[in-house]
A and B are shown apart, each in its own frame.
Chain A
């Protein structure tokens, strides 16, 4: 990656030396559709933009949408007329749908440095971070948290938990698939029991995690990496994530370039930049997810100390796409009564 980068830099310097660009020159703009928190002041966006624009001779124009699902939905609406050169922020549960739009151009990025809990040989999507869904608990309110999904879905009405609606949120959908993959035919019964312990089901992660931090319930659906935020920014290890005996469900966030783009090369460079070391180093403390390459000691200690789930769960894409509706119905019928 570094080599490629150096070459790019040299090329940029050479061109600008040969023909110094006048100020009014048309700097190419790379339009990137992403979700809002990626481009917020605290997200990775600003730092990545600064880094990339130093070498690309271009300008990144972000378009922020609510979340990954909103991103895909916008892409479907705009179809061939989309302004996007790159979409960034689709998660593994939506890649099949995204590919089905027929808009994705294979990335042509060398992903040999990428290290994920699963093998990654996807020619269309470039992963830029990942995490495991997990229930995060408040160790002050809950001294003995459940150790498995089966225990969480056991009888009784405590401890209370908060999760997100799979109809409206990505983590919510993740939990639905997690329960289905781990418990199979027992999923319906599990949801019946979980319903007894459910404080509430929120529209999105922000509301749910906010309620949790306000002390409304001791357990909330989030990520195994969430405690790293509290350790690094708030210097507390009060909030911990649970690695369940059945394993935790994986979420990989990906980016792709689009066929309709008029600058596929620039888009390709951006995707390559995403998995480069300078970009990956910024991911952990801005998006609070794991980087996709081995950063060694550059990975903050709080991340290195996080317990890693013993088993990684992830459903095949086509199975998710084919069954999403049926499983949501099952959840509604079990948990919604």
Chain B
């Protein structure tokens, strides 16, 4: 009798998660189908055999692999340092900043990076002042990889840090009692944990780098530095050939799915810790050398991160002098940005959470099902953003028009594209909660709403807060949605930024960029504090 109720409950949660996954997959599939349904003359054979596609594929792979390797390697070290150094001043603010790069509009990030490493950047001027002849040259593969590390190192830290938090305190105590060396700790404790967390973090970053586009062109230094997405863009914009764009998008998807399958295969089967957090762990007693290296790593990451952010803020303040902004317009755009971001974030959560819950539920008993759910969860970033966006536009055009279409389209597209990130934040917490409480709940027959209210919500609340905050911040920087669905009455801050740039107004653009950055940061912090209820990990 006891067994019957939980099974029904599990079935309900599974069905909900599975249903949402099907919906999401159907949307992505329908979007691509809509592109195929348009007139065009894509010739698959000619396309796939072409030298152009081969060279573009080569550069896409090279930069994505390099960017991923560097982001992840550096990310492991930095996440580890963060996991050990648990209470230095500014830790929380720094982790908050970690969510900033990934959500920044690419142009803001490019200008921030240029302000530091460009021909006329801070670094070049510092070298000049010091009498050094050499100048940094970031245009080329190096610049592309640097920009991608700037974006993705913080993401890697965010995705990996929960891994350390999942190692139970008993494990650490035992390792201390046994007097394990640093290497032994890594090999026996941290590596098995990493095998669980690293592959998917790497796959996520890889897919983002494959889909990267404007940054690659701006910093790539020449036409040879172009990614798959450039070809998709060209097919849509200048060749008016949506089916060709769809085929290219499918090619990119295939590449990403191979990567995802590799990641799935590399995932180790480390036991999820059921013990409590390592709050009792006294890292401060470690050798000074270890603490110093942690400090250096965190410092280096902070510098990489903060320098372009600081440059953007400085430019914004300087720009105020020449900006001549219409502040009513800015205020309106700010409200529109927030008004579109909040519903998008909420929708992201409503899509991601049931899928993550279902995935965690299926993990041990039905691994195939779990893998499928996991695939559906990353689908939105595995598909070309341009193609997905245009497909969604074509779908919504069938039923809606005017302002309702614009609002629905922007909210939906943003929500869908952010699902993978929200899922990555929610997953560790959901898995931990399940590992800890599943048996107890089954034994006590706590199910359904009661289980959610009494058990899941208190445990998941901090992660839900972080996921919502991240989703809202990402949606705040939206450009694809507003570019596709926008109408003249719906101009958000990002668009205002591009408007200024398009009208030669660099000062105003710098002010808006700084403002957007501050707003993203503030909204993130506010939501996380409000929803999480306490300091999130």
B-contacting residues of A (Cβ < 8 Å)? Answer: 36-37, 39-43, 45, 61-66, 69-70, 72-73, 76-78, 83, 97, 160, 165, 167-168, 173, 195, 198-203, 205-207, 209-211, 213-217, 226, 229-230, 233-234, 288, 324-325, 329, 331-332, 335-337
Chain B residues 481-518 with CB under 8 Å of chain A are 483, 486-488, 491, 495-496, 498-506, 509
Chain B residues 79-130 with CB under 8 Å of chain A are 107, 110-111, 114-115, 118-120
Tally chain B residues at the interface, Cβ within 8 Å: 59
CB of B25 within 8 A of chain A? no
Give the residues in chain B near A331, CB-CB below 8 Å. 223
Give the residues in chain A near B139, CB-CB below 8 Å. 199-200
A223 to B139, CA, bound (A): 24
Q: Looking at the complex, which of B232-240, B279-287, B375-383 is the stretch in contact with chain A?
A: B232-240
CB of B52 within 8 A of chain A? yes
Q: Mark B211-223, 1 if CB is under 8 A from A, else 0.
A: 0011001111111
Report the minimum CB–CB distance from A80 to chain B (whole Å): 12
**CB-based nearest B residue for A60:** B488
Report the minimum CB–CB distance from B337 to chain A (whole Å): 16
Report the minimum CB–CB distance from B340 to chain A (whole Å): 16
A336 to B234, CA, bound (A): 16
Known contacts A40-B503, A200-B222; A168/B233 CB under 8 A: yes
CB of B293 within 8 A of chain A? no
Q: Mark B395-418, 1 if CB is under 8 A from A, else 0.
A: 001000100000000000000000
- Chain B interface, DSSP helix/strand/loop, else mixed: helix
18 A-B pairs whose Cβ atoms sit less than 8 Å apart in the complex: A40-B496, A43-B502, A63-B488, A73-B236, A77-B394, A83-B401, A165-B230, A168-B238, A199-B119, A199-B221, A200-B221, A205-B502, A206-B498, A214-B118, A226-B504, A229-B504, A335-B222, A336-B55
**Closest 4 pairs between A and B when the two form their complex, measured CB to CB:** A215-B120, A37-B502, A40-B499, A62-B488
**CB-based nearest A residue for B140:** A200
Whether A43 contacts B503 by the Cβ 8 Å rule is: yes
Known contacts A37-B499, A83-B401, A206-B501; A216/B217 CB under 8 A: no
**CB-based nearest A residue for B224:** A336
Give the residues in chain A near B119, CB-CB below 8 Å. 160, 199, 215-217
A213 to B120, CA, bound (A): 10
Contact of B502 among A40, A168, A329 (CB under 8 A): A40
A216 to B221, CA, bound (A): 12
A337 to B51, CA, bound (A): 13
CB of B176 within 8 A of chain A? no
A-contacting residues of B (Cβ < 8 Å)? Answer: 38-39, 52, 55, 107, 110-111, 114-115, 118-120, 139, 213-214, 217-224, 226, 230-231, 233-234, 236-240, 242, 322, 326, 329, 390, 393-394, 397, 401, 483, 486-488, 491, 495-496, 498-506, 509
Whether A207 contacts B214 by the Cβ 8 Å rule is: yes
Report the minimum CB–CB distance from B88 to chain A (whole Å): 35
Other A-B pairs, 13, CB within 8 Å; known A37-B502, A42-B503, A77-B390: A41-B329, A42-B500, A42-B505, A62-B487, A63-B486, A65-B486, A73-B237, A165-B217, A165-B223, A200-B139, A202-B217, A209-B504, A211-B118
A233 to B323, CA, bound (A): 11
**CB-based nearest B residue for A72:** B240
Whether A168 contacts B222 by the Cβ 8 Å rule is: no
Give the residues in chain B near A65, CB-CB below 8 Å. 483, 486
Whether A211 contacts B504 by the Cβ 8 Å rule is: no
Please indicate which of the listed interface residues A160, A202, A210, A329 has the most CB atoms of chain B within 10 Å of its own CB.
A210
